[in-house]
């Protein structure tokens, strides 16, 4: 993979110079189209890889993709309820761990799950 990337980069660097020279030649826009069309037909790998059809299609896809921010509109009461529910879960989990670490018996539901895993 790295070899292909280095190879493509080297090829792009080497082909960049002639492309710039051709671009600097004072041709009309129609002349540019004709010259580059002829070059692409005769030497399809002449242009840098960023101008290949596949890369151009990827660029169009990236540009057309719209990213929208996810906004949750909730009242302060809903936020307070959500926070209290999260705290309740954290407290119950902490107390359960403390109880089992002090030598308490594990939760019967957990025991059923462990028994079914052994079978």
Digit-by-digit pLDDT tens for the chain (119 residues) are: 788 888 888 888 888 887 777 777 656 777 777 777 777 788 777 777 666 778 778 888 888 776 666 677 888 899 999 999 999 999 999 999 988 888 877 665 655 544 544 44
Residues 100, 110: Cα–Cα separation, whole Å: 12
DSSP three-state, residue 74: coil
DSSP 8-state secondary structure symbol assigned to residue 110? H
Alpha-carbon distances, residue 86 vs 82, 92, 95 (angstroms): 6, 10, 14
């Amino acid at each position: 993979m790295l070899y292909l990337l280095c190879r493509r980069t080297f090829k792009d660097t080497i082909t960049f110079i002639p492309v710039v020279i051709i671009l600097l030649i004072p041709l009309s826009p129609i002349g540019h189209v004709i010259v580059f069309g002829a070059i692409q037909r005769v030497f399809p790998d002449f242009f840098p890889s960023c101008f290949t059809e596949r890369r151009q299609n990827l660029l169009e896809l990236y540009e057309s993709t719209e990213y929208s921010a996810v906004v949750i509109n909730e009242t302060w009461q809903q936020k307070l309820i959500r926070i209290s529910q999260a705290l309740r879960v954290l407290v119950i989990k902490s107390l359960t761990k403390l109880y089992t670490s002090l030598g308490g018996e594990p939760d019967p539901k957990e025991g059923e799950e462990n028994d079914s895993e052994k079978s």
